[in-house]
Chain A
Amino acid sequence: MEILKVISELPGVESSVLGDADGGLIDALDEPDGEATAAVAGFTTHKLSEAGEILGLGALESVNVQSSRAGSAVIHTGRCLLTLRLASKSPAPGLEERVRGIIEGSSESTDA
């Protein structure tokens, strides 16, 4: 998918997986087990959304995860979940906004 190629060229992005909210894999780039990643992203965001709903925090927008070595991010975009593995612990400044811009631009051109 063209969109994942564009996203993977953003600074600090090592791999990307696009899945649906139910954990189904749509596409993956540079990720050896995209299916498992999409499933985990779907389940994790579902459970986090449950917690957020109980706490009255509204709709889940993104999850940034830091580990001792690197980081990852899950971005909720419409009905899809985009999981990014990052080269550093934290996402580069403005990464989420740039990703959203790319996805919105892509859906607008698809609509047109």
Chain B
Amino acid sequence: MRDILNDILSQAGVQASFVFGGEGRLMGFHGNSIYTEQLLSEVSVSLSSALDALGLIDEAWQSATVRFGDGFLILRQFGDNGGGEGGTPERHVLAVVADPSLNRSFVNVALRVAVQRLQKRLEATDPPQPIDTGSLPSFPTAASPAPAPPGTTSSAALPPAALAIESSRMMPAASTPPTLDPFAAKLTTDLVSPMHPAVAASSLTWSGSSSPTATPIAVASIAAQDFLADLTEDLARFVGPMAKVFVKECVRAHCMDRPFDIHDGSAVEEAVRQRIEAADDRAHFEEVRGKTSR
């Protein structure tokens, strides 16, 4: 499956692609390493609920394009092959996360091809079995990391720092050991947690988004607001739409319950820098920030 998802990822603007089945069960994924198995599992559950509801008004739906302020989610349904519980048809969905630079015409063609290939593989499975990401050698998960290619060092044998540098932006997200990504484990719970009363009481906030569902963070001044906006913009060059999520996470970790102040800027910037996996991207980010702050 990874080869199919990789073809989609080669399209301009595509950040991640993944497949989920009934009840939002993540079946496979490939993308920028910031899109972890846990994060995409959470997303799959939300998407599955949305699509179940969509079926109430249009049960024959085949594809959906969701446009957000900072990117797209494209969903294509396939695979009603009787592979569900008790032999009932099971819906599978191929999902693509993309930034605004996406060429929708090109990616639609790539998706049609990918769905055909996925459908064939699904039909070739006899009896129909759900695709287990943990059992596919080409689709490693955190529980079963990918075997290292011949001539390379196994990820498991490397210290965390070396592993972080070794991780390419396009490696399968789940092959990163869970110990390397504690933020991702905390991310989803933080996003749905109610705001702390001390934060909620502050009058100035920054959410990095116009979404009414975005959870804002408290800031002490307009200058602090501007700083976070600039930092997010610079970070987005390297991590895409996840930049605002990273910045919020770093601010929360550093400031705890108090509002973010401009004096917290350097510490937060350093924490944000550490979220960039590739060493050369981190260096480039430093360069960009150096120019910004001059």
Identify the A interface with B (CB < 8 A). Answer: 21, 36-37, 40, 43-69, 72
**Contact between chains at B57 and A72 (CB < 8 Å):** yes
- Report yes or no: B70 in contact with A53, Cβ–Cβ below 8 A: no
Q: How many B residues touch the partner, as a band?
A: 35 or more
Question: What 3 A-B pairs are tightest by C-beta distance, nearest first?
Answer: A58-B69, A47-B50, A59-B211
Interface bits B144-174 vs A (CB < 8 Å: 1, else 0): 0000000000000000000000000000000
Are B56 and A60 touching (Cβ within 8 A)? no
The interface of chain B, by Cβ under 8 A from chain A, is 35, 39, 42-43, 46-47, 49-51, 53-54, 56-58, 60-73, 97, 187-188, 191, 209-215, 240-245
Given contacts A59-B209, A60-B67, 18 further A-B contacts (CB under 8 A): A40-B56, A43-B49, A44-B54, A45-B50, A47-B47, A51-B47, A52-B68, A54-B187, A54-B191, A55-B43, A56-B242, A57-B70, A58-B244, A59-B212, A61-B69, A63-B66, A64-B67, A68-B62
A63 and B46 alpha carbons, distance in the complex (Å): 15
A61 and B68 contact, CB distance less than 8 A: yes
A66 and B61 contacting across the interface, CB-CB below 8 Å: yes
User: B60–A44 contact, CB under 8 A?
Assistant: no
CB <8 Å contact, A58 and B209: yes
Q: Which residues of A contact B213 (CB under 8 A)?
A: 46, 49-50, 53
* Max chain B C-beta neighbours (<10 A), residue from A21, A37, A44: A44
Q: A45, A50, A59, A63: which contacts B69 (Cβ < 8 A)? A: A59
> A40-B53, A48-B50 are contacts. A58–B43 as well, Cβ < 8 Å?
no
Task: Looking at the assembled complex, report how far the CB atom of B95 sits from the nearest CB atom of chain A, in whole angstroms.
Answer: 9
Alpha-carbon gap, A51 to B42, bound state (A):
8
Say whether A57 contacts B241, CB under 8 Å: yes
Q: Chain B's nearest CB lies how many Å from the CB of A46?
A: 8
Number of CB contacts from chain A to chain B under 8 A? 129
Which of A49, A55, A56, A68 has the most C-beta atoms of chain B within 10 angstroms of its own C-beta? A56
Determine the chain A residues whose CB is within 8 A of the CB of B71 once the complex forms. Answer: 55, 57-58
Interchain CB contact under 8 A, B73 and A48: yes
The contact sample of 21 A-B pairs, CB cut-off 8 A, is A43-B49, A44-B53, A51-B43, A52-B73, A54-B187, A55-B43, A55-B97, A57-B69, A57-B72, A58-B210, A59-B68, A59-B209, A60-B68, A61-B67, A63-B65, A64-B65, A65-B61, A65-B63, A67-B61, A68-B60, A72-B58
Q: In the bound complex, what is the Cα–Cα distance between A99 and B210 (angstroms)?
A: 20
B187 neighbours in A (Cβ, 8 Å): 54
Specify which of A49, A54, A66 is in contact with B63 (CB 8 Å cutoff).
A66
